[in-house]
Amino acid sequence: MEKHKYHGTIITEIKRPPKSIVDGFAKHEVCKVGDAMAGYGLMNYRVKPIEQGMHVAGPAVTVLTAPGDALYVQKVIEVVQPGDVVVIDAGGIEDICCIGERLCYYMKLRGAVGVVVDGAVRDSKGIRDMRFPAFCKAVSPRIVGSNGPGAINVPVQCGGIPVNPGDIIVGDDDGVVCVPLDRAAEVLKGADEHLASELQRLKEIEAGGSITEVFGLAPKLKRWG
């Protein structure tokens, strides 16, 4: 395999968002965060949790790996810090995995709060049993080994979305969204406003308001009437 310019790169120190920002995103659903970015940052719908009820929020530590290879997935365990989400670009290949129960367990021991894989995982029961949030496109028992190539904390893509080290990852039953680090505070404010607006509409409707009035449907309906 020809060497990519990132192959062999291992960056151990990255900029992470303030804990208060991460905590703010942890209170939101993926849908609200995606709404705050007009749909930008939402990963492909096939990147889903391996079990309903899983939720994760934290800064991305990125891994670039060849499909089915675990070398740099193993190495990143020494790089993660408490609260990190490991994001693995495995090329989107679904019939061969790059991580399983044991590596997820070691990540959890280091304080990682979840993993997102553009590809497959295996040992899904073990991962579920340890309550480690894992998001992926597929589950497959096949794996190549630990030979490389790969890289750590370089720009990657996951589910068709660019992910840079330190970007905020939020995942739940609906999927995964990536918030660029340099826009995190702005997006969080937008998500807060979206939620507040939704709750206000709910309050108005429960008080007897009509859907047409509360949602301002009349001008739009008139166009087609």
- Cα separation, 112 vs 100, whole angstroms: 15
Give the pLDDT confidence score for residue 1 in this predicted structure. 63
The boundaries of the domain holding residue 205 are: 193-224
Do 26 and 121 reside in the same domain of the chain?
Answer: yes
Measure the CA–CA gap between 217 and 25, rounded to whole angstroms.
Answer: 30
pLDDT tens track for 102-121: 999 999 999 999 999 999 99
Same domain, 127 and 220: no
| Spatial separation of the C-alpha atoms in residues 142 and 125, rounded to whole Å | 16
Q: Which whole number is the average pLDDT over 189-206?
A: 94
Sequence length of the chain is: 225
pTM of the prediction? 0.94
Q: Which CATH number do you get for residue 43? A: 3.50.30.40
Task: Report the distance separating Cα 1 and Cα 5, nearest Å.
Answer: 12
For the chain, the distance separating the N- and C-terminal CA atoms, rounded to the nearest angstrom, is 61
pLDDT mean over 83-88:
98
Q: How many domains does the chain have?
A: 2
Cα gap 123→9, rounded to integer Å: 28
For residue 33, being part of any structural domain is answered with yes
Instruction: Judge whether 7 lies within some domain.
Output: no
Residue 14 has pLDDT above 70, yes or no: yes
pLDDT band at 101 (very low <50, low <70, confident <90, very high): very high
